[in-house]
Structure 1
């Protein structure tokens, strides 16, 4: 074997020792060919192991990210169910208060219904009394009217008596005159005439007195009639008011019955609601307990993957120090997954990221390769070109998410991290197509 071949083989072994599995001997010596085959095999084996590591990393971290989301959801469920439990307890107390209030309202409604019934009965009695009073007033009015008629008849009789008295007085006067002419023979007649005259005067005085009293009676009767007319009108108005009030009372009675039925229905509903609230409270409490268990389990799983993260990072760091064909594609895939996990840990409060740690799309491992060796090797490939846009957007969103999170905008940061997932998938898809 020539010294030059020996030197080439020594260089090859030095390359293997330094971790360069891309080194090949340039001459066509059989031993060189065997050595190159060996190096190619080692290169493929290292690449396969790297792929396996990366696939394990990606699969494991995808599961970790899903578990992280599950833990986030479980924590959210636990918080919400805790709030719900408190709200449900308050609701149960409120329902109980409503049920108790419904009982009180039911009692008050029943008492009010009784009072309204009694009031309705009283109004009916008042109406009956007013109706009877109206009839009595009509009877009294008729009697007074008859009294007025009799009084008028008395007036007519008194007028006749006054006429007779005047005539009697005139006759007595004539008799006295005639008795005086008769002398002694007419003295006895004169005495009788005098008595008749005196009786006539007394009758006239009595008739005048009766006339005065009759006039007074007629005035009183007229006043009584007028007063009775006013009273009758008042009673009629009172009767109308009582009728209206009675109608209102009947409406109130009907409404009170409706209220009573509603209160009983509400009471029944609140009883059922109280039972349902208790069941809900028990269910929410169980959900809260389950969510806490799920949260604990997810957190334990994340702690385990954190340890795996350290180990995988160390392994991949060792591979990054080796020279393996297309190793940068595999390492770029793992870099994406590591960053996705870091961002998810940040959202969950399991880690922090300084804004200066987030480089632009030119400075990461993939970016450095993409705009140098990758451009030279795959520049005309469609899959290669498809990587640039989502890769650029990924870095922009990652920087934006970290900035928002550090500023306290957790919701905005979460939204940006979620938007990275399809972009990361597009980048990984393009890299996998380049491998083929």
Structure 2
């Protein structure tokens, strides 16, 4: 049995050796592949033509080719694949090229069933060629065909495994991204809190509107009473104005009487002056008469007996003159007294007249003021009537506002219920997505460092999500469930056996502190919640969110720096 060159499958990873051993591939198998290659290589173009000729009959595959490549490029790729296959040498480079094919198939969404069917078609073509060319040596033909089929099966396993892993990882990351987006729907808590405040405000508004309504009714009652009082006051004021007008007329009449009285007293005073003048004349006459009587008495005395009768007459005349003088003096005194009294009377009458004038002016002013008061009271009464009407309108508005506020209150409670139900449904959806996400880890998907960092993002966003829903009363979280930063998936990777270039990177070193804070504040939030310290739990959640943002940012930077 000849071979073109030696083969060695010892220089590969242990997992690959196990897979080859499971398929029964050994050095002898590869030797038969190399021998089969001598038969198949001249028919390589025939194999390629038959392969793509069949693929192009399938519309779905034709569309994939048109979108991602060309037939010429694919023929070149197939040529390289067959040459590597014919060499019958399995090393890390061989395994890597098959895995690359699996990555490409996953990227362009070529399903496993289509690939397996097409790959079987290729193996079938090679088997037919071997059967046709080796029919004279059926045993050797069977050994070659069997070896080719084994190696093709290994290729198929490598490609499909990578395809499935990449597809599952794609599903995993799609679910993770969807879960991350769902987790970002964290405004429901703010909505519920806002609705709580709105309901409280609605209660406050209802209380205030009740007080306002009571005040408006009280104002309306007061306005009604004031309006009634104003009507009574207007009537009383009207009556008072009539009385004042009558009093004003009477005072004016009194003023006129006083004016007449002053005139009459002035006339009397003039008459007194006139009498005084007459009395003065009489006094002068009396004095002259007395003087004449005295002279007559003197002459009678001189006449003696003959003048005695004349003397008697002269004495009588003198006596009469004296009495007249005394009477005139008495009259003068009386007139003087009368004049003084008249002067005082005139003065008093004038003062009284002035007071009457003032009273008249005051009465007129009072009348005007009363008229203004009546007008003001009437206007006030009208205003009170308007107030009463307005208060009725305000009462209607307040009632309408109260009804609307009651409706807002009811809608707020309903909306809050919907918000809580929405939050619960979103949480249930996120829980289901997390369950699906975790199911991928149970099928032993191989995660490289870059994949694990990406998964860790969702892991730590979920802690914030759990605490968030705990505060909403949707999810129960026990403090014992909160792992440490060393026990979580990221922690096990972080403190595990990593390449030195990763551990020496600044980004890697920056991750430890905020990662530790995420777990610390998650536990603290749960403990505060268990102690019914909602404010403390809210504060811990805020710090958890801050630390989580830092962790996500560092993980994103670390993910970008890692090689696949």
TM range (shorter): 0.7 to 0.9
Q: 1:429 to 1:247 in 2, by over 3 A?
A: farther
State whether residues 456 and 489 of structure 2, in contact with CA within 8 Å, keep that contact through their aligned partners in structure 1.
Answer: yes
Q: 1:350 to 1:94 in 2, by over 3 A?
A: farther
Q: Is residue 408 of structure 1 aligned with residue 535 of structure 2?
A: yes
State whether residues 72 and 348 of structure 1, in contact with CA within 8 Å, keep that contact through their aligned partners in structure 2.
Answer: no
Task: Give 1:341's aligned residue.
Answer: 465
CA distance in 2, matches of 1:113, 1:393: 86
Larger radius of gyration: 2
CA distance in 1, matches of 2:232, 2:537: 59
Q: How does 1:193-342 map to 2 (within 5 A)?
A: 193-239=314-360, 241-242=362-363, 245=366, 248-249=369-370, 251-320=372-441, 322-325=444-447, 327-342=451-466
CA distance in 1, matches of 2:555, 2:245: 93
CA distance in 1, matches of 2:257, 2:517: 104
Q: Which has the higher contact order (CA 8 A, sep 6+)?
A: 1
The TM-score with structure 1 as length reference comes to: 0.73
Q: Is 223-232 or 317-326 further displaced after alignment?
A: 317-326
State whether residues 172 and 437 of structure 2, in contact with CA within 8 Å, keep that contact through their aligned partners in structure 1.
Answer: yes
Q: 1:429 to 1:281 in 2, by over 3 A?
A: farther
State whether residues 123 and 246 of structure 1, in contact with CA within 8 Å, keep that contact through their aligned partners in structure 2.
Answer: yes
Q: Which runs of 5+ in 2 are unaligned?
A: 1-6, 24-89, 96-150
Task: Give 1:43's aligned residue.
Answer: 165
Name the SS of the counterpart of 1:408 in structure 2.
helix
Q: 1:33 to 1:51 in 2, by over 3 A?
A: same
Q: 1:392 to 1:264 in 2, by over 3 A?
A: farther
The TM-score with structure 2 as length reference comes to: 0.59
State whether residues 518 and 548 of structure 2, in contact with CA within 8 Å, keep that contact through their aligned partners in structure 1.
Answer: no
Match of 2:18 among 4, 8, 29: 8
CA distance in 2, matches of 1:264, 1:234: 43
CA distance in 1, matches of 2:368, 2:261: 30
Name the SS of the counterpart of 1:283 in structure 2.
helix
Match of 1:33 among 155, 159, 162: 155
Aligned residues: 422
Q: Which runs of 5+ in 1 are unaligned?
A: 14-23
CA distance in 2, matches of 1:282, 1:135: 72
Name the SS of the counterpart of 2:274 in structure 1.
helix
Q: 1:266 to 1:353 in 2, by over 3 A?
A: farther
* Cα displacement string for residues 44-79 of structure 1 (whole angstroms, at most 9, x for unaligned residues): 23213323432443354445x344443333333333
